[in-house]
Amino acid sequence: MYQVTADQLQQRATVLDVGCGEGYGTAILARSGLAVTGVDVERSVIEAAVRSYAESGAEFRQMTSEEIPFDAGNFDCVTAFHVIEHVEDPILFVRELARVLKPEGRAIVTTPNRELRLAPGERPWNQYHLTEFDATTMEEVMANAFRHVQMRGVDVSEPGRSVELRRVDTLRRMARLDPLGLRRFVPQAVVQRVTSALTRLPVQDRPIDVKFEIVDISRQPIDLLAIGSNTVDANASWPGRPG
């Protein structure tokens, strides 16, 4: 998604990457000629981002609350990839994204597709996800902050899609066997190794070529993609080309 986003923006456009983590994606934007700032609530990952990606030209800053630490109207684009499912108040979150955008700016938000992960009424089995969204609920949340919302999807070519669906199914079954949530006390590295072992593909004769693409929401994509703006023209160029 980072390269797709970069391809849609003009050189030196100002971008805020919310929930930047250790900065890999933020650096992709910066190396594409954009003026990028990455923010995250975790001090340790911001420190890691500075160590690893300061040379890209990206800036990094820690957020200390749900409020984004910038004045209104600062950015041409705000990205939030796999972040909104972690926040306590999604509506406040998207309003903050809208607040720091320029009037013609756009917010680009991705999140896992609930319909591929949860049964109706089922709570998220991922212990770090507070809310998971389907296309309808995601559009409704975005509409609290943006007059124009375009819903698309991010999908992955085979065999990557099958691997991801197997991984999700495995984690879902593991969560059902642990209704008390005791897995929270198991080291994350152990959980990851078990999950990897259970979802691994058979050995291939050659490397797997996996490609991500922007697709119509009706195709039940792996991730939802929401583009929000307050002007019609801001979304005109999307969905953009695959990347």
Cis peptide before 90 (omega within 30 of 0): no
The predicted pLDDT at position 163 comes to 83
**pLDDT confidence band for 241 (50 / 70 / 90):** very low
Q: Which amino acid is at 49?
A: A
Q: Do 169 and 65 sit in the same domain of this protein?
A: no
Residues 6+ apart with CB under 8 A from 59: 36, 37, 38
Of the pLDDT bands very low, low, confident and very high (cuts 50, 70, 90), residue 121 is confident
> How confident is the model over 191-212, as pLDDT tens digits?
666 666 655 555 444 455 678 8
Contact 18, 97 (CB under 8 A): yes
236 occurs within a structural domain = no
Residue 144 and residue 177 in one domain: no
Residues 147, 167 share a domain = no
Are the C-beta atoms of 18 and 79 separated by less than 8 Å? yes
Residues 187, 220, single domain; the answer is: no
Q: What is the pLDDT of residue 119?
A: 84
Q: Quote the tokens at residue 44.
A: 């340790």
Full-model pTM = 0.84
- Host domain of residue 116: 2-155+212-231
181 with 130, same domain?
A: no
The residues with which 75 forms a beta bridge, in sequence order, are: 101
Could you tell me which residue, 190 or 24, shows the higher pLDDT?
A: 24
* pLDDT at position 74: 96
Residue 185 lies in a domain: yes
Residue for token pair 């209704």: 179
Residue 143, CA atoms < 13 Å, CB-side half-sphere: 8
Q: By the 8 A CB rule, do 178 and 125 touch?
A: no
